[in-house]
Amino acid sequence: MENTTEIPYTIYIEATPNPASMKFVTNKILVKDKGASAEYKNISETQTAPIAKQLFQFPFVKTVFISANFITITKADAVNWDDISVELRVFLTDYLNKGNLIITALPQQEVAIDNTFTETKTISTQHVAPQNDVEAKIIEILDQYIRPAVENDGGLITFKELKDGIVTVQMRGSCSGCPSSTMTLKAGIEGLLKRLLPDAVKEVVSEAM
């Protein structure tokens, strides 16, 4: 007889380059839409994210970032991870294994279906929708080359705008407020975009979230 017992959620904790952020990694996918993620900076933003709403019941939780199979939590400065990490892991494991809802709707954007930019489709993304081929290429580069590394560290970097050769990006998850984010921005992202798009990109700057 086939065993149909569902495998329970298990969670392990990973440190990130940002000492204020910790990554809680699960053995199952939390966000099924490929490449999708969501960040919540306060409880008022969590109407479509029951799990984030519950996490904000902890007074030391500052932001919640959810992507793929992990949740990055950023804490208040007044507490230490040694005092709260196990409590959060136990809560998340219990919450998920009870079958509670994770996210009911993801952030979405209308994006062009091709380089004519005449028709659009709705996709789950936190990038601002590109208005031309260059902006579309910047997003492609961020997703292909930058995303895997920063996602491994519990964060995400999204495109906001290109103006007069200056690319503005937004730091999310553990990348927001991370001491090493400036190095990542200049040595990593700016260098890559200037090399791949030398006629379009002069500088990359970040916008506080």
Per-residue pLDDT tens digits for 63-113: 999 998 999 999 999 999 999 999 999 999 999 999 999 999 887 666 555
Beta bridge partners of 155: 173
Residue 22 pairs in a beta bridge with 15, 73
Q: What is the reported pLDDT for 198?
A: 93
Predicted pLDDT at 183 = 73
Q: Quick one: pLDDT at residue 1?
A: 39
State the pLDDT at residue 3: 46
Tell me the whole-structure pTM to 2 decimals: 0.81
Q: Which residue numbers in the chain have pLDDT < 70? A: 1-5, 108-124, 208-209
